[in-house]
Amino acid sequence: MQRRTFLGLAGLSAASRAFSQNTQPPNIVIALCDDLGAGDLGCTGHPFIRTPNLDRFAAEGIRFTDFYAAAPVCSPSRAGLLTGRTPNRAGIYDWINAGSPVHLRDSETTLAALLRERGYATCLSGKWHLNGLEQVDGPGSPARHGFEHWFATQNNAAPSHENPVNYYRNGKPAGPLQGYSADLAVAEAVRWMESVPPGRPLFLYLAFHEPHEPVASAPDLVDLYPQARKRGEALYYANVTQIDRAFGRLLEALDQRGARGNTLVLFSSDNGPEWLNRHQAAGRSHGSAGLLRSRKLSLYEGGIRVPGLLRWPARVAPGRIVRTPASPVSYTHLTLPTIYSV
């Protein structure tokens, strides 16, 4: 895809030209889910899962019908998102095991690092998975890739999304936590935003653990799905709604900060949905790729086509549906450097 084509389809070409005359840089939020399928949201056609906040969010900006992850598995996909490079070029070929020496090279330039150089406050909250150290510190850590503040796990929230014990905050153990990971990640992000002076632009990378296994969902959300009959089905549906509810709280916090208009928010997923019963813990993986073939780990459409929602009220008209293929790699590599080159 040509650079001009992508910028035009996103409605951001004119925005980038106008930005040089705008003294206030936009805030940027990237919200990334883990194993969320292309068909898992109400606005992307799921018949049961309730996602009112995301459905409204999609109507307020752009919904991409053909949005592609950088890879069909999480670590390479995240490397592509943050660097704007094909993951193999960034040295990440597969998901990274705990304890592995594999990491995103400190020499790689990430979006967070670029924005921090331009005066942005930067934060990661959620899942990192770009190095193998359980404490998330050391080579390839968030601190070495532009994040001033980070609250993260190496890979999954453990022992599940409920009451995780493996979060680290700026290199130190956060200790046992009470609540669900999506809520904890958003709460941390909101506290961080409140600590940033109002005039300083923000970059937030909100990396949800949900709906990756092992799934754990709030009982009140599970109760929303009495029609579910298969083992783990209601838990999975509720897990997506759990993301939606937490994401809604983040949007409320942006509104309270007075940042709604000049905040660019991108919502997506790292790859397609997990396979049901692919491994022992995957008995709740009832994600949907819609009509697409295959799932996570596959280069067929179901493995790499993911939800893509974008809102920027100050620059992007609401109610747009974009059918031209797009990707967070092209988005990171082409669009944002254009906007911030002034």
* Active centre residues (catalytic): 74, 129
Concatenate the DSSP letters of all residues of 217-254 into one string.
--HHHHTT-TT--STTHHHHHHHHHHHHHHHHHHHHHH
Whether the CB-CB separation of 96 and 129 falls below 8 Å is answered with: yes
| Residue 254 to residues 24, 268, 291, 297, Cα–Cα distance (Å) | 16, 18, 34, 35
- Give the whole-angstrom CA distance, residue 252 versus residue 231: 34
- Among candidates 251, 199, 204, which has minimal Cα distance to 24? 199
* Interatomic CA distance for residues 147 and 116, integer angstroms: 8
How far apart, in whole angstroms, are the C-alpha atoms of residue 101 and residue 91?
12
- From 146, 102, 151, 97, select the one nearest 124 (Cα to Cα): 151
CA-nearest of 324, 302, 193, 254 to 57 is 254
Neighbours of 116 (CB within 10 A): 17
Reported in sequence order, the residue ranges of the chain that DSSP labels E, i.e. its strands, are 27-33, 62-68, 121-127, 149-153, 168-169, 172-173, 202-207, 263-269, 305-311, 320-322
3-state secondary structure of 306: strand
Question: What's the token pair of residue 54?
Answer: 């995301």
Closest CA to 304 of 284, 291, 285, 289: 289
